[in-house]
Structure 1
Amino acid sequence: MSNSTYIIDDKLLVSGGQRFLNYLLDNIFVLALIFLLAVFLAFFGTLLGLTGLVNWMNNIGDLEGRFLFVVFTIIYYTVTEGLFGRSLAKLITGTIVVDENGVKPDFGTIVKRSLCRIIPFDGLSFLGSSARGWHDSLSDTYVVNKKALEEEVKIFHEFNLIGVQELQA
C-alpha cells in the first residue's frame, strides 16, 4: 500500500459567504443556549428560593453579558467541534472542520481554534481574500464541504491503489 498522505486542496474550502452563514447560525444557537440556561436557572432559582441568583440574573450588565457570551461561545465550539468535528451550523450546512490531512483535528487543536475566536473581528476575518479565518490559520484547520471531502479522499486512496496489486504479486 502507498504511504503517501492526503493533503487538503484549496478547492474544497467553503466560501466566505458559507462561513458567514455558519457564523450567524452558530451565534443564534449560542444565544438560544444562554436563553435556555437562564430560563432553567430562573425557574429553579425561584423554586428553590435562591433569590441571590435570581437578583444577579435580573441585574446582569452589558460587560457581564458580553463575558458570558464569549465563555459560552468558547464552550459551545469546543464541545461541538471537539466531539463531532462540526458545530450545529456546520451540521446544517454540510461542512466540517478538518486538519491539513482531511481528518478531524485533535482536541487540543479544537481548544486552540475555539480560544482564537476571542480575537476581535475574527468572525469576519474569512470574508477577505481567503475563506480561512484567523481561527483557522492560527490552529492549522480548514472548513470544507463534508461530502466533497469524502469523495476527494476516496478518489485519492483509489488512485494510490493503482498498481499496488501488481507489485505485491
Structure 2
Amino acid sequence: MSDSDYILDEALLASTGKRFLNYLIDIVFVFIGIIIFGFVAGVLIALGMQGVGDWLSGLGDLGWNLIGLSILIIYYTLTEGIFGRSIGKFITGTTVVDENGVKINFGTAFKRSLCRLIPFDNFSFLGSGRGWHDSIADTYVVEKKALEESLRLFHDFKLIGVQETEI
C-alpha cells in the first residue's frame, strides 16, 4: 500500500483563523531569529572582529531587508523541511503535506518559502483557505490529528478482505 492512492480531503484544511495564528506566531520567531543574528554580530564585534562591524554598517536598508528575508526563508525551509511544520503549526496542531497527505521535502519547503516573498501572500489564504505559497507549491495546511485519523481509516479500509499471512 502506498500513500499515493490517498487523496487529501479538503475538509481537513486548517481554518483561516489557525492559518493567521500560524503566521503571527511564525513572524515572532522570525524576528527572534533577526535579534539572534544581531546579538551574534555584536558578540563578534566585541571579540575584535571589526570587519563584521564594517560590513554591517555598510549594509544600508536593502542589505538589512535581504538579511531579514534570508532569515525568513531559512526559518520556514528548515522547520517545514525537517518537521513538516513550523513552530506556529506545532502550536496550532497543523501540518504541511502534499495532496497525498505526505510530509513535504526540503525542495517543496524551499519553494513555499520563496513564494512567501510574493507581496500580500501572507493574506492570500484568507479568501480561499489556501495561500499562494500553498497553491504554487502544491501543498496543503491541514489539521494534523484529523489527517492522521483520515489516513488510518483509509489504510484500514484497504485491508478489508485481505488475507492475513501466517507467521
Question: Does 2:33 align with 1:33?
Answer: yes
SS for the counterpart of 1:165 is coil
Alpha carbons 2:85, 2:96 under 8 Å: kept:
yes
Q: Give the structure 2 partner of residue 113 of structure 1.
A: 112
TM-score relative to the length of structure 1 = 0.89
* Cα distance change on mapping 1:126 and 1:4 into 2, 3 Å: closer
Q: Give the structure 2 partner of residue 145 of structure 1.
A: 143
Deviations 1:16-73 (A, max 9, x none): 11111111111110110110121122012112x2234225435654332222111111
Deviations 1:85-135 (A, max 9, x none): 11111111111110000011222222111111111111110011x111000
Q: Give the structure 2 partner of residue 162 of structure 1.
A: 160
Q: Give the structure 1 partner of residue 17 of structure 2.
A: 17
Alpha carbons 2:3, 2:102 under 8 Å: kept:
no
Between the aligned partners of 2:68 and 2:3, the Cα distance in structure 1 is: 45
SS for the counterpart of 1:30 is helix
Between the aligned partners of 2:2 and 2:107, the Cα distance in structure 1 is: 29
Q: Give the structure 2 partner of residue 131 of structure 1.
A: 129
More off after superposition, 157-166 vs 7-16: 157-166
Question: Does 2:100 align with 1:101?
Answer: yes
* Aligned residue type for 2:10: D
* Aligned residue type for 1:105: I
Alpha carbons 1:14, 1:144 under 8 Å: kept:
yes
> Which ranges in structure 2 are unaligned for 5 or more consecutive residues?
none
Between 1 and 2, higher relative CO (CA 8 Å, sep ≥ 6) is seen in 1
CA RMSD of aligned residues (A): 2.2
Aligned residues: 166
Alpha carbons 1:82, 1:106 under 8 Å: kept:
yes
Alpha carbons 1:2, 1:160 under 8 Å: kept:
no
